[in-house]
């Protein structure tokens, strides 16, 4: 009798697209009503992200949270895109974690969720496919995407990225998160609190106890130990996928990031 392997379950993607603050500097520099609409390679960032997800085999459907309805109504390209089947728009909530929770409530519990942001302007289908495929092999409840800082610097000399230093090397976050089980979704709020401090690694790790911080400062904290501690703190299995794409770690947090992303998208490098 022939044995067949079940196909990996497809994801619903959730894209956070609301500005965290009013008068976002990137939006002001680009002269657009919100950061997600800042153009990169001649196309608004949010549409670039939606394009990448739509072209990714593991993604079955997508939920876009934000921009606010009054902005959507004034943006013909975005409004037209929201009419595409398989794409749902939801209004943004007060925080990224409450927005994510609203999206999770619309998704069947057994469906894996990919969470990303609209400022992930250099996201490509091969990044999404690699991350989703590898995340589903980890046996974890929650998986985060990381990229090697050394690889980023080698590909884009002079590129400034916040990094977290482990004994195996330095890594940067990629704004890609997989919530693979209902238990994983339940800790999204704590995960976002940790992620929000990613630019201050010591404060981020203080959630795990000051012994962990001390090991980090001494250069003795391994990524494996950090994941074990995070899993214990959250009560779920937490893993990572190291992506072989340096651009996966380049999101648009500042005007400088936006300018770099435009140069990379145009093929002129960093």
Q: Which of 76-85, 176-185, 188-197 has the lowest mean pLDDT?
A: 188-197
- The CA distance from 261 to 269, in Å, is 9
Q: Over the range 96-118, which residues count as b (16 or more CB within 10 Å of their CB) and which as e? A: bbebbbbbbeebeeebbbbbbbb
Q: How far is CA 49 from CA 102, 123, 130, in A?
A: 20, 6, 16
Query: For 19-41, how does the pLDDT look when each residue is reduced to its tens digit (9 = 90+)?
Result: 877 789 999 999 999 999 999 99
Q: Are 190 and 234 in contact (CB under 8 A)?
A: yes
Query: For 210-234, how does the pLDDT look when each residue is reduced to its tens digit (9 = 90+)?
Result: 454 444 444 557 888 888 888 887 8
Please give the DSSP secondary-structure letter assigned to residue 167.
T
Task: Give the per-residue pLDDT at 214.
Answer: 42
* pLDDT above 90 coverage of the chain, percent: 65
Greater confidence (197 vs 180) lies with: 180
Task: Give the per-residue pLDDT at 3.
Answer: 44
User: Binning pLDDT at 50, 70 and 90, where does residue 2 land?
Assistant: very low
Task: Give the per-residue pLDDT at 67.
Answer: 96
Mean pLDDT of 98-104: 91
pTM, 2 dp: 0.88
Task: Give the per-residue pLDDT at 220.
Answer: 55
């Amino acid at each position: 009798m022939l044995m067949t392997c079940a196909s990996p379950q497809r994801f619903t993607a959730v894209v956070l697209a609301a500005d965290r603050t009013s008068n976002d500097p990137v939006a002001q520099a680009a002269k657009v009503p919100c950061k997600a609409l800042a153009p990169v390679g001649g196309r608004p960032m949010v549409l670039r992200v939606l394009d990448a997800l739509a072209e990714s085999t593991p993604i079955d459907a997508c939920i876009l949270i934000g921009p606010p309805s009054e902005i959507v109504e004034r943006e013909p390209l975005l409004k037209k895109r929201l009419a595409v089947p398989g794409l749902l728009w939801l209004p943004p909530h007060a925080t990224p974690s409450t927005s994510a929770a609203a999206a999770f409530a619309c998704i069947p519990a057994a469906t894996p969720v990919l969470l990303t942001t609209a400022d992930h302007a250099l996201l490509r289908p091969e990044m999404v496919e690699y991350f989703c495929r590898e995340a589903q092999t980890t046996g974890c409840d929650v998986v985060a995407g990381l990229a090697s800082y050394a690889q980023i610097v080698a590909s884009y000399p002079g590129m400034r990225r916040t990094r977290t230093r482990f004994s195996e090397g330095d890594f940067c976050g990629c704004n890609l998160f997989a919530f693979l089980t209902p238990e994983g979704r339940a800790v999204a709020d704590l995960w976002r609190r940790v992620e929000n401090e990613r630019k201050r690694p010591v404060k981020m790790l203080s959630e795990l106890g000051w012994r962990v911080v001390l090991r980090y400062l001494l250069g003795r904290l391994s990524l494996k130990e950090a994941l074990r501690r995070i899993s214990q703190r959250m009560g779920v299995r937490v893993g990572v996928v190291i992506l072989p794409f340096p651009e996966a770690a380049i999101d648009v947090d500042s005007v400088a990031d936006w300018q770099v992303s435009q140069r990379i998208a145009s093929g002129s490098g960093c």
